Amino acid sequence: MKSGVVNKIQQLVKFEKNMDIYVNAIRVIGQLCKRSVDRTKEIIKLVGIPWFLEIIDSDSEARVNAAQYCLQVILNTFSGMDTKKDTKPDPTLCEQYKSEIDTLLTCLTYSITNRVITGLARDAIIELIMRNCHFSSLNWAERFVEIRGLHRLLEVCSELEEYKYESAMNITESSRTVAAACMARIYENMYYEQAREKFHSQVDDFVKDKLLTPDLESKVRVTVAITSLLRGPLDVGNYIISKEGIMEMILVMAQTDDPLQQKVACECLVAAASKKDKARTIINKGVDILKSLYASKNDAVRVRALVGLCKIGSFGGDDASIRPFADGSTKKLAEACTKFLVNPAKDKDMRKWAAEGLSYLTLDADVKESLVDNKLAIQSLIELAKSGDQSCLYGVVTTLVNLCNAYEKQELMPEMLELAKFAKHHIPEQHELDDPDFVNKRLTILCKAGVTTGLVALAKTESHNSRELIARVFNAICSLQDLRGIVVQQGGAKVLIPLAVEGTNNGKKQAAQALARIGITINPEVAFPGQRNLEVVRPLIALLHPDCTALENFEALMALCNLAGMNETTRNRILKEGGLAKIEHYLYEDHVMLTRAAAQCICNLVQSEEVVKAFEGNNDKTKYLYLLCQEEDVDTVMAAAGALCVLTSISKGCCRKLLDLNSWVESLRCLLANPNNEIQYRGVYMLYNIINGDRDTAAKIFETDVMEILMALTKLDNPEIKKAQEYAEKCLQTAENLGVIRKPDEGALSASIQEEQIIEEEED
């Protein structure tokens, strides 16, 4: 800093044409600002906030990303947050540097509607606000509404790429989607009535301002803005569209001869038909209009009208008994969508709308089967996903969720089902093509077609609901063991970790379960190389929660077991995340598979010194493992005995604890006389550890019939138990060396044999 490096970088980027050098210069500034408030304040003083807004203004994605990251680092430094997800700000720092944070975010808010910046820069600025406005981060949503930031977002939402006028803004294909997601995020923070009223009031003002001027531009822009509201804060969108005259205006626009008005009206009708009551209204008032628009010569209008018809035709969901249109209509609509999707002559906008149409129609199982058999359509869908265009996100991902049957299904209790039948209430019916065999076939086709690469491209979205949908598709694919390798190969495991850390609760759970499934089947060193094997620990431990299903618990335990077997660093991370207590909880479950998985996990964890210390403490952990050796499940006994072998080889304290148990002899007998060779070997090995160098313990053990069991074991003629026999001899030798037992002389031995023979003769 003293050498004037910041000023030199500032001068450099003024004239630098090489983009790599430019981007690296921005990154240097970002690193200088990291975790140092003094340096950050000095840098802002030297270059000024406008400089940061200048460097973010570019058509180069790398430069925009670097500048966006640099601004986020500055906000993190002032607030005490970290660039990693799920970190909370420090309230003291936030209060101390409130004016700096406010100034920076206010400048960003005013830049949203800057007419001269690029579309990429605008998207990056909106994303920064979306990331920091939430109450879980800088809690800036209310301030954003106060300074009329909402009005600026609505201005972006009302822009159309194909409709340019004098003061039009530069926007990307994703701009309206990003702005809608940002409004939804802000509306989440309006958690009390007064705040929601302010939000509604600003939206009302925007709509009134636009409708005061009766020209075409105002009507088009207000309709486009309402569409964005319906795709973002849905409640607000429904509130606006239900106001007197709004729906009528949209229906009138749809009936004009102007393709632009027809197009935006269609889009709005599609977005409005999200709820059943609205869908019914549109069925009553708008179906004929949509049908006439579908006959239009303009493809852009046709495809939007088609999507409207698709959405209305699908409001029965996956219930095979509800059909809003005549039989066969849904299939015809799907064929029309597929034609738009696979036609290479059509632009991406057409294919995006075709995908959205299919996202509604694929709730029908017949459509799922016909679509998945069309290789060109599936490939086109995946190519659309690979583009990473956020405006394509909903249509593509929802279609994939439907094809995989990855949507949330309501479980119907048999009693409730009978009650519904008795009350003559409608009961949803499942289509025969939604049976597991058909679903698995569809999953295999999608995965082998490369759907993972498309999901990886779309996973960068900030929308939590979209992230949940992506996680659902990943989890559905990972439910089939044969497909997990393909998911890892195509980068799925890498994006699943952030999906499991940030998003909706269901989304995080779905992503974590997919990670667990990968961790069970594939070597964690391959699936989660380097730092990733540490990052995956927290999502897996989150699945060890009582609210999760037994299957999710079991899969998490199995994956953690494999991770615990990797290295000491990973084991320490499991302990640091509070994993030991959560894993131990499942040892006490009345469920064989959960107990087994927990015991296997503990077996790998006891290689850690910290875990050994925990078992040495004033508790009954070691004793309970010993009790598990009497279980009927072979794998549970093997895991518990394995853990005890490690503990007894390291800790004499753990050895003595075993003999405090009332039934210690029974557990020892279960191990030494076990028909399973591996368990028997573990039992003998553990016994050797217990008596080795401890005469008192050895004497207590050899007072029982243990010596006879060991003697019998050494005399068995079975090459498969050679290891167990070696340790049995070692045990006897150790006991002899300690003076606990001694070998009988030959005379005494023959006398005892003669005595046995006499007894046998008398019995005969």
pLDDT confidence of residue 552: 93
pLDDT digits (tens, 9 = 90+) for 650-701: 888 888 888 888 888 888 888 888 888 899 999 999 998 888 877 888 888 8
pLDDT confidence of residue 344: 73
| Section 735-752 average pLDDT | 63
Helix ranges (H only) for 502-620 are 505-521, 524-527, 532-535, 537-542, 550-564, 568-576, 579-585, 592-605, 609-616
Q: How far apart are CA 108 and CA 129, in angstroms?
A: 8
Residue 762 has pLDDT above 80, yes or no: no
pLDDT digits (tens, 9 = 90+) for 403-452: 998 877 666 566 666 666 666 565 556 667 778 898 899 999 999 999 99
Q: Which residue has the tokens 């002559």?
A: 345
Q: How far apart are CA 139 and CA 144, in angstroms?
A: 10
Residue 752 has pLDDT above 50, yes or no: no
Does residue 364 contact residue 330 with C-beta atoms inside 8 Å? yes
Q: Is 75 helix (H, G, I), strand (E, B) or coil?
A: helix
Q: How much of the chain, in percent, has pLDDT values that exceed 70?
A: 89
Q: How far apart are CA 227 and CA 557, in angstroms?
A: 45
Beta bridge partners of 160: 163
Q: Over the Cα atoms of the chain, what is R_g?
A: 34
Model confidence band, residue 485 (pLDDT cutoffs 50, 70, 90): very high
pLDDT confidence of residue 319: 47
> b vs e for 56-67, b when ≥16 Cβ sit within 10 Å of the residue's Cβ?
bbbeeeebbbbb
Does residue 318 contact residue 431 with C-beta atoms inside 8 Å? yes
Query: Of 406, 427, 321, 305, nearest to 362 (Cα)?
Result: 406
Residue 24 has pLDDT above 90, yes or no: yes
* Domains in the chain: ranges and CATH: 606-763 (1.25.10.10)
pLDDT digits (tens, 9 = 90+) for 192-236: 899 899 999 999 999 998 888 778 888 899 999 999 998 888 889
Does residue 549 contact residue 513 with C-beta atoms inside 8 Å? no
Q: How far apart are CA 151 and CA 113, in angstroms?
A: 10
